[in-house]
Structure 1
Amino acid sequence: MSRPLAILRPPPGGAATADRVRAAGLEPLLVPLFEVVPLDWTPPDPKLFDALLLTSANAARHAGPGLAALARLPALAVGPETGLTAEHAGLRVVECGSRGVAALLARQPSNQRLLWLAGRDRIVIEHTAIRAILPVYANEAVALTADAAAQLSGSVALVHSARATRQLGAQLDAHGIPRNSVRIAAISARAADADGRGWARVAIAAEPSDAALIAVAQPLAIDP
């Protein structure tokens, strides 16, 4: 019997990952560690920028009515899910990456003026094209119940960020669940190394995508 794949993302992204896990013939276990909430923000003058940078679907999903003031700007999306969500929100996506934000930005001219619609808690990205960062949403950490935390024992946890790895470790520790009862499949080396103490096994996806994450998690789920 295979181990369940614990999905720590909040909805609706977590539900989309669960569908991909089922399609791979594995069992999803939804245990969200965060809740996405919109932030108050004021749209800047779009004439100051050439394009929008979106590194998460949550930026388009939770930006709210202020996004309409920026809809004249083309958008760069970090991946297909982000691009599709941005289009549904009324944005015009002109480029959609597939290998992470660094690869996406490497293709941009340095004189381009990007407005990054970001989360409040985010990784540091340095590129001359990013002229301003505007937080429009936040991932608020959720404290698990004892029952929810207990479900994680014996699972393969899919971690989509360094913050998720740290929150997972904190919640297991808070409920006295040994970290060596959980295997980790991480979307990046940075996520894997964020809190690398005591996990049973750790594997890193070949690229920052759900498909690659599930692929690297599959051996962890079926191996004894």
Structure 2
Amino acid sequence: MTIFGTDVDRPEGLTYAVVLTRADRDAVVDALTAERFSGWVGPVDAGWVVAVPETPLGHVAARRQHVEEVAGTLSAAVGTPVVVVIVTRDELLQLWAWDGTAVVAEYVSDPSVADPDDESAAWSGPTGVHEAPALAALAGRPEAADAVGELLGEELGESEHESERLMALARALGWPEWLVAVDSLPRRVPGGPDADAFLRLRAGRTGAAGLLAARAAKVVRRDH
């Protein structure tokens, strides 16, 4: 799939995650450091701070937290709503929005993919579409609620991918559009910041200390 032009050729089936908040970036870094987060923290872009976990589906912080759990911890720490989006193999999009310790929006694009053992999920369609107004309000764009609801409720065709849905959501909600290309880290993000604009954290530390901390954390953290 080509996202940013003919010079960017992305293979299908990518898995990645992003954490978004409009909190102060230093506060975000401090909170993620305290939680021994592993991943990258980007620069402020259009008012948003974006964090990218090293392992989208695995443990990414202390106490074996997954990225959606880290989002709740972060929201409580910085006092600002936090949204986390996970794209799995480009065929499933999951989204959570936290306000403090409470989940105020939760969305699954295809429950049959999220839980293939649930036979009833195959006919249910996307879940959480009704929370589009809450998601739009958190982004500071309540007028986009109807458009966001349509995007969340759309059933994609066989030739369409969840990265395309995420790109459209980013446009509607004012999120940085390069979110769909964060899988390129630690190299430059196509259409986005240079790699050196991201702060690299390994188990909450940087540099050589981070490499050592990451080795220790790997003993208890899982990638899936």
Structure that is richer in strand per residue: 1
TM-score range, shorter chain: under 0.3
**When the two structures are superposed, what TM-score results if normalisation uses the length of structure 1?**
0.28
